[in-house]
């Protein structure tokens, strides 16, 4: 299975399509423009490239293309994480987790959920 390394622009679009697919270029472009000014043909071009890369599928209805995201969010996130671990954390996802935990305030609720998850993991593996 290949590794997905979408660019920042692509990630913005993926995010919207993971929320809801399919969508047209027009819809995506309108949503993007709530954040910042982006030309329609810019969005079109990027989505065409994403289609070429296999990140999106599309179906034609009338003259409009409806785009659907075809890569999983989970897998994409994992690929991006793996890359960061490899390039910036000496290949140690433990180091990454510790650093991520250290930044910002975290609610008791979140901390508890992490603890629960750790317990669950401990049940599964054994080193």
Partner DNA sequence: TGCTAACTACGAAATGATTCGTATTAAATT
Partner DNA sequence: AATTTAATACGAATCATTTCGTAGTTAGCA
Q: Does 111 bind a copy of itself (CB under 8 A)?
A: yes
CB atoms near residue 118 (< 10 Å):
10
Q: How far is 48 from 51, CA to CA, in rounded Å?
A: 5
Torsion (CA) 51, 54, 57, 58 in degrees, nearest 10: 30
Residues 36-75 that bind a copy of itself (CB under 8 A): 74
Q: What is the DSSP annotation of 23-71?
A: B-HHHHHHHHTTTS---HHHHHHHHHHHHHHTSEEEEEETTEEEEEE-S
42 binds, among a copy of itself, DNA, none (CB under 5 to 8 A by kind): DNA
> Which is closer to DNA, CB of 8 or CB of 124?
8
- Which CB, 65 or 76, lies closer to DNA? 65
28-67 positions binding DNA, by CB under 7 A: 37-42, 44-46, 48-49, 62-65
Q: Which does 63 bind (CB under 5 to 8 A by kind): a copy of itself, DNA, none?
A: DNA
Q: Which residues bind DNA (CB under 7 A)?
A: 7-10, 24-26, 37-42, 44-46, 48-49, 62-65
């Amino acid at each position: 299975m290949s590794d997905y390394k979408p660019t920042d622009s692509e990630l913005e679009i993926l995010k919207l399509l993971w929320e809801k697919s399919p969508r047209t270029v027009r819809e995506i472009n309108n949503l993007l423009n709530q954040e910042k000014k982006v030309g329609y043909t810019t969005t079109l071009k990027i989505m065409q490239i994403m289609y070429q890369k296999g990140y999106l599928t599309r179906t034609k209805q009338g003259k409009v293309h409806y785009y659907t995201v075809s890569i999983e969010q989970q897998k994409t996130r994992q690929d991006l994480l793996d890359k960061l671990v490899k390039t910036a954390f000496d290949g140690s996802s433990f180091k990454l987790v510790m650093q991520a935990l250290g930044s910002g305030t975290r609610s008791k609720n979140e901390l508890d959920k992490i603890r629960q998850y750790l317990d669950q993991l401990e049940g599964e593996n054994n080193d």
